[in-house]
Amino acid sequence: MAVEKEQKSITWHWLRTLLKIVEEYKSIKQIIEKVKESLIEYTQIDNIEIHLIDDLSSRDNAEKGIDELANSDFFSRKVIENIFLHKEPSHISKNEIIFPLENSERILGLVYIKTPSQIDSVSFELLWSFMDQLAALIHNIILPQNKNPESKIQIKDISNSIFNNLKSFLEASLERLGALEEQNQKLVELNRTRTELINNVSHELRTPLVSIMGFSNILQRHEIKPDLIREASEQIQSAGGRLSRMIDDLLQLNRASTKGWVVNVERLDLGEIAKYVVESLSPLHKNYNFTFNYPERGYPLIGGDRKLIRQVIENLIINAIKYSPEGGEINCTIKDNTNEKKLSMFITDNGIGMTPAENQKIFERFYRAKNPKTENISGLGLGLTICKDVVEALNGEISSTSDFGQGSCFIISFNY
The span of 20-28, 83-91, 258-266, 383-391 binding ligand ADP (CB under 6 A) equals 383-391
Instruction: Specify the 3-state DSSP secondary structure of 108.
Output: strand
Range 12-71, binding ligand ADP (CB under 6 A): none
Q: How far is CA 347 from CA 306, 315, 397, in A?
A: 18, 11, 14
352 binds ligand ADP (CB under 6 A): yes
What is the smallest separation between the CB atom of 234 and ligand ADP, expressed in angstroms? Answer: 21
Q: H or E element: which one contains 232?
A: helix 226-259
The C-alpha atoms of residue 322 and residue 314 are separated, in whole angstroms, by 12
320 binds ligand ADP (CB under 6 A): yes
The C-alpha atoms of residue 212 and residue 336 are separated, in whole angstroms, by 44
- The answer to whether the CB of 348 falls within 8 A of the CB of 399 is no
380 binds ligand ADP (CB under 6 A): yes
381 binds ligand ADP (CB under 6 A): yes
- Cα 141-143-144 angle, rounded to 5 deg: 85
Q: Which is nearer to ligand ADP, 276 or 367 (CB)?
A: 367
Q: Which is nearer to ligand ADP, 102 or 349 (CB)?
A: 349
Listed as own residue / partner, the contacts of 280-283 with beta carbons closer than 8 Å and 24 or more positions apart are 280/314, 281/314, 281/317, 281/318, 281/321, 283/234, 283/237, 283/238
Among 112, 130, 215, 323, binds ligand ADP (CB under 6 A): 323
354 binds ligand ADP (CB under 6 A): yes
349 binds ligand ADP (CB under 6 A): yes
Q: H or E element: which one contains 141?
A: helix 121-142
Q: Which is nearer to ligand ADP, 38 or 402 (CB)?
A: 402
What is the smallest separation between the CB atom of 403 and ligand ADP, expressed in angstroms? Answer: 10
Among 22, 66, 134, 382, binds ligand ADP (CB under 6 A): 382
The C-alpha atoms of residue 15 and residue 130 are separated, in whole angstroms, by 7
Half-sphere exposure of 226 (CA within 13 A, CB side): 0
The C-alpha atoms of residue 348 and residue 411 are separated, in whole angstroms, by 9
126 binds ligand ADP (CB under 6 A): no
314 binds ligand ADP (CB under 6 A): no
Q: Which is nearer to ligand ADP, 89 or 351 (CB)?
A: 351
Residues found near ligand ADP in the complex (CB under 6 A): 319-320, 323, 349, 351-354, 362, 367-369, 374, 379-385, 408
